[in-house]
Amino acid sequence: MTVEHRTLSGSCLCGSVTYEVADTFEYAMNCHCSQCRRATGSAFKPLAGTKASRLTLTSGDVELLRYGNVEEGHDARCRACGSLLYSLVRDGNYVHVAMGTLVDEPSIRPNMHIFVGSKAPWFHITDGLPQFDGLPDHG
Ligand SMILES: [Zn+2]
Ligand SMILES: [Zn+2]
């Protein structure tokens, strides 16, 4: 039996860089670490993780600014508008899509808060999702 997966599209603010990603994210979470806060300028970053091979740039390859190591891990931004689109992580095997750049609605929802130990003191988490000081325990 063939399982068909939807393909989601995503875009930076100015529209120069667009991507497609399969709607097969393995996890999604809100990260409150100081790096994610600074990278996004937000209280936290909602991210969705999937194998790097599931994401394809559909336009704007030349506009892509890779902050960090090109092969092993970086934040991918649009050079023109600065949007953070995704991060290459886990030795280059996974991408963490910045969920705010998704144009289409993914099936997955962030289901936990991580690095709450370094949360911005001015932000209060008001939902009931589990909170972890750092990464969740892998059981
Ligand atoms: Zn852009
Ligand atoms: Zn983070």
What's the CA-to-centroid distance between 7 and ligand 1, angstroms? Answer: 21
Order of strands, sheet of 55-59, starting from the edge strand that comes earlier in the sequence: 7-11, 18-22, 55-59
Dist CA 50 CA 114 (whole Å): 17
What's the CA-to-centroid distance between 77 and ligand 1, angstroms? Answer: 8
What's the CA-to-centroid distance between 4 and ligand 2, angstroms? Answer: 31
Residues within 5 A (CB) of ion ligand 1: 12, 14, 16, 78, 80-81
pLDDT of residue 1: 58
What's the CA-to-centroid distance between 85 and ligand 1, angstroms? Answer: 9
Dist CA 138 CA 40 (whole Å): 27
The position carrying tokens 């790097």 is 52
Listed as ranges, residues in the chain with pLDDT below 70 are 1-4, 138-139
Domains of the chain: 7-118 (2.170.150.70)
